[in-house]
Structure 1
């Protein structure tokens, strides 16, 4: 399976597409997932479970630095329980650094909010004929100066981190 990551527009059929007009930052990266029909949540869990170690180290650095200015420690992206059954997740559960906001077989929405910014991540399973793709989109709404300063540093880093995480997508078997 190819690990070629494409930078694409946020898909129009994503549940977070309607938020783009007022967003401070957004992007989307897509990768082929072969013939997998795995639910979107399984795609997300398998992908973040393979987060490169350097990304988790950067998250650790981020957590140390932002605590000095009153932002919360989010932990690491890969901090998930790989043995937890998929059907045990419910809206409101914390999955790594995000909270589960919406879930269907086709798409999962996760997010995190505070007084400085709101972040939403969508993992959308796409089909084009016999080809399957996973599109991972991020949408950020900044609320104040601290949020703008944060995104000044995180925005450029995200453009390196997001495709690196998506590129680590492992083969996921069907439901």
Structure 2
């Protein structure tokens, strides 16, 4: 299963947040009878990551804490995240659900330096499904721009890796 760069779908809920300082979209094609929901993808995307990504997030959190950036380190992060995704509203302290439809879930990660919108968007055909992960970033000040300058190379690799990892894990689970 290979991910590829794509355009933001014209009917994506994220169109409301354009233009942005940075955007990307990565997609994977899934064949077979099992259909994945945007909610299941979003929950898995953020709660079960490869060990090397988890290690990078821990380093990132150590480096950004002195600058007042959110780290998302709370005791009930996973439970609260799943709760707000399923409800289609609310916040877990670092992320808020800002838009939701039958085929898309959009969360906002906001701090004093930038706003980052992450979306999982799905489209289905008879025997296949396309899953797209979208990112839109709005800088609030120069610190947001500098921060994302350093994060951006990692962002692309991490998003593509987590997308593929999430799909493999969810598709291997019985429905």
TM-score when normalising by structure 2: 0.82
RMSD between aligned residues: 2.6
Gapped regions of structure 2 (runs ≥ 5) = none
Partner of 1:101: 98
SS of structure 1 residue aligned to 2:13:
coil
Displacement of 1:100 in angstroms is: 1.9
> Aligned runs of 1:25-64 on 2, under 5 Å?
25-34=22-31, 35-64=33-62
Deviation by residue 1:72-96 (Cα, 9 ceiling, x = unmatched): 22239xx624xx679853401329x
* Cα separation, partners in 2 of 1:70 and 1:48, compared to 1, 3 Å: closer
Answer 1 or 2: higher relative contact order, Cα 8 Å, separation at least 6.
Answer: 1
TM-score scaled by structure 1? 0.82
Q: Show the counterpart of 2:144.
A: 147
Paired residues, number: 167
Q: Is the 8 A contact 1:94 1:100 kept in 2?
A: no
Contact 1:122 1:138 in 2 (8 A): yes
SS of equivalent residue, structure 1 residue 161: helix
Which residue of 68, 71, 74 maps to 2:72? 74
> In the superposition, relative to structure 1, how do residues 47 and 32 fare at CA in structure 2: closer, same or farther (>3 Å)?
farther
Cα offset for 1:101?
2.0
Ranges in structure 1 where 5+ consecutive residues have no aligned partner: none
